[in-house]
Amino acid sequence: MTAVEDYRIYADSKLAGMRIRRYSWWLHWRELADFILPRRYRWLVITNQMNRGSPINQNIIDSTGTLAARVLASGMMAGITSPTRPWFKFKVQNLEDNLVVGAWLAECQRRMETVFQESNFYTAMAVMYFDLVVFGTACIIIYEDFENVIHCFNPCLGEFFYELDERFQVNTLAREFTLTHRQIADQFGLDNVTDDVKSSVSDKNPGMAGQQTHEKLVMHMIEPNNGFGELVPKRFKFREAYWEWGSPRAKLLRVRGFSEWPCVCPRWDVVSNDAYGRSPGMDALGDIKQLQQETRRKAQAIDKMVNPPMIADVQLKNQPASTIPGGWTYVAGLDNQRVGAKPLYTVMPPIAEMKQDIAEVQARIKITFHNDLFTGITDLQTVRTATEIDARREEKMVLLGPVLERIIGEGLSKAIDRVWGIMERGRLLPPAPQELGTQPAHIQVDYISMLALAQRGLATAGIEKLWGFAGNLAAARPGVLDNLDEDETIDEYADALGVSPKLLRDRRIVAQMRAQQAQQAQAQQAMQAGSAAVQGAQTLSQTDVGGGQNALQLMLGRGAVGGPGEA
């Protein structure tokens, strides 16, 4: 068998195993979608479904869960990867003070930010955050694009599968999804598709044009480039393959390699070697179900109050009756008290208590989705000081600390590495300066988003407390301030706040300024000493000590008229 046939046997078997291991998560995602986000989940990936436009949110009566998830997703989008402000910067260890290297890194950052802005990166990130907070697992695939440098795709929940490496990091992404015949032909080329696709899109078969919109199941896998001969050159760390489901084993739609991992695969929270993550949506699912039930019961109670079940005399059976305002109902024998209609029973439900319990459930759902972190000021019922608001925000930031670290490690760092590699191969980055030498492989990314800075901003409180304590102690022991380095303090404080390094002077310039200031101080002291000597001499010259001499002459041993010994 050929390498392609061997790979097809391997890939089909591997995909079947991944499908089995995902089954329990698949069921859980379906329940989450039913009650929170039904439009971002595929229960069954089958072709030519004609009911995709049918209502999909039949289980959602109160949308608090969906709205709370939206607030959290929007807050994370604005707080972690805001399109309107820088959220990352580059640095090289031990060369932070080099102005040439700093200018080069700043230009690289500016160009990458332009790529993110001009592509659909931020649109894909917004979808990813929504998936992440509801399902705990999300995915973006970043491809090279001729027009916008990069183009991002968001696989839908239910379409993709994960597998982990020995470090419990995602290293394999598999998918099963649908494309039309025309999409398959345009994306992969006529030479690679099966005969039925080729015939439906061929200009020689105009009568088959209706088949172009028919769908086929396409399989997709991205994984480490190990084995299978020269299917993909060994210089690529990862390989990608597409094939039509049910096609001959000797046929692939496309196979190619990647120098870096092309996927962004963040997970909200993980346990052990689970391939998929857990989410706030899973935590809030019980409350969301309770909310739907209580909202439904409250509506039924109000409905029975407004339109209660009725009881009527048997004489009214099959007689016309009207319940609309101003309507008439004709009956015979009105003098008989038994004739007429009245409620079967009186319904007086505790509406106030039901509303209060529903409000408590809604509040729990919002807290589970961390809405109080992003709407803290809006939800305040009383006026609070800025210090108290900052303290509350810092306290809540601790809850998102592990999540932020995982999003950076499994998501943002992979995205920046991928885009950097694409831009470097496309010669879209400025030439590295000579001062950098062999350092480009050691370029580090510093995340300066609002949430990242808020996390790091906790360090500023410690710095302020240390200096405040030292200042109080210095009143009794002035020498205690010798233990603190004010220059390092300024650098650490500026780094914690995420301010631009341009605001701080280079250490060498600071040293030169201090040397000049020391020289000026010495010169000024010399001038002051000389001025004091002149003033003293003038005073002595004006002091008469008798015999026609002043004090200055007496000190110098000179006579009043001539030199020494003259009469």
| CA dihedral for 294, 299, 305, 310, sign (positive or negative) | negative
CA–centroid distance for 433 within its chain:
32
| Per-residue confidence (pLDDT) for residue 525, from 0 to 100 | 81
Can you list the alpha helix ranges (DSSP code H) found in 119-194?
121-135, 181-188
Residue type, 316: L
CA dihedral (72, 75, 77, 78) in degrees, to 10, reads 180
Average pLDDT over residues 204-216: 82
Convert the pLDDT of each residue in 364-420 to its tens digit: 999 999 998 877 655 555 555 655 655 565 655 667 778 888 999 999 999 999 999
Q: How far apart are the first and last CA of the chain?
A: 133
How far from 153 is each of 42, 158, 224, 298, 312, CA to CA, in Å? 16, 15, 20, 42, 63
Please count the other Cβ atoms lying within 10 Å of the Cβ belonging to residue 6. Answer: 15
Tens-digit pLDDT profile for residues 106-135: 899 999 999 999 999 999 999 999 999 999
Residue 309 CB-density burial (10 A; 0-12 exposed, 13-18 middle, 19+ buried)? exposed
8 Å CB contact between 135 and 30: no
CB burial of 358-388 (b: ≥16 within 10 Å; e: otherwise) equals beebbebbbbbbbbbbbeeeeeeeeeeeeee
Question: For residue range 45-96, what is the model confidence (pLDDT) as tens digits?
Answer: 888 777 777 877 789 999 999 999 999 999 899 888 989 888 998 988 777 6
Model pTM score: 0.78
Most confident listed range (1-10, 54-63, 332-341, 360-369): 360-369
Beta strand 238-244 with 215-224: parallel, antiparallel or unpaired? antiparallel
